[in-house]
Amino acid sequence: MNIIEIIRQGGILMWPIMFTSVVGMAIVIERWLTLRRADIDTREFMDTMRQVIRQNRIQEAINICDETDAPVARIIKAGLLKHRQSREIIREAIEDAGRFEIPRLERYLSGLATCATIAPMLGLLGTVQGMILAFAQIQNKRGQVNPSDLAEGIGNALVTTAAGLAVAIPLLILYNYFTSRVENMLVEMEASSVELVDMLTRHRGDTEI
């Protein structure tokens, strides 16, 4: 049985299921590429920041951030640009940058979750539709239905459920994976921002809270 036969047996609702699959996989590819670029060795990056800040090479630290295409580098740069300001202002600058970066990390994840939720529902709807047609066939033939014909009708009806689950399960797994990855990155960003504030204030002997 090839894909064309499966689509034909599943009926018209196979098309929205396939569309959901295409959209979901497009989001998966986009998120994978984006998060791959954004995920750097935060510990190594912050060690570099510590070294240059200790030597009062703030501009060099800013340049390193510019050369590093990652959310953590952009929020650290926001803090470095305010290095002469108070601890509170530095923290606010980092938080403002973080509010811009977080939506970029979480972009399209709600769409991926929607695809994973809709696919099995479409499959179930297709199965219900197929069962209605199968029982209508029984009614039209006044109960004189060949069991093999009935089995074929029910089997075709179940194709959409199988297709919906086949789409939803991997999308749900990938959604949870991306969500966990984003959460880990946010934790690293938070820890790095706290570390930067401490480094800057300690470097200049600022004891302001």
Sign of dihedral through CA atoms 76, 77, 78, 83? Answer: positive
Domain span including residue 172: 3-203
Is residue 109 within 8 Å of residue 32, measured between CB atoms? no
What dihedral do alpha carbons 37, 183, 177, 25 form, nearest 10°? Answer: -60
Report the predicted TM-score, pTM, of the whole model to 2 decimal places: 0.83
- List of residues 6+ apart from 58 with CB closer than 8 A: 52, 80, 83
In a domain, residue 118? The reply is yes
What would the two tokens of residue 170 be?
């991997």
Is residue 186 within 8 Å of residue 29, measured between CB atoms? no
In a domain, residue 175? The reply is yes
Q: Per residue in 75-97, pLDDT tens?
A: 999 999 998 888 899 999 999 99
Q: Rounded to 5, what percent of the chain is helix, strand, coil?
A: 85, 0, 15
Q: Per residue in 141-184, pLDDT tens?
A: 765 767 666 666 677 778 899 999 999 999 999 999 999 999 99
Q: Name the domain count of the chain.
A: 1
In a domain, residue 208? The reply is no
pLDDT value of residue 209: 37
In a domain, residue 112? The reply is yes
Q: What angle do CA 97, 101, 103 make, to 5 degrees?
A: 130
pLDDT value of residue 207: 39
In a domain, residue 209? The reply is no
In a domain, residue 109? The reply is yes
In a domain, residue 196? The reply is yes
In a domain, residue 60? The reply is yes
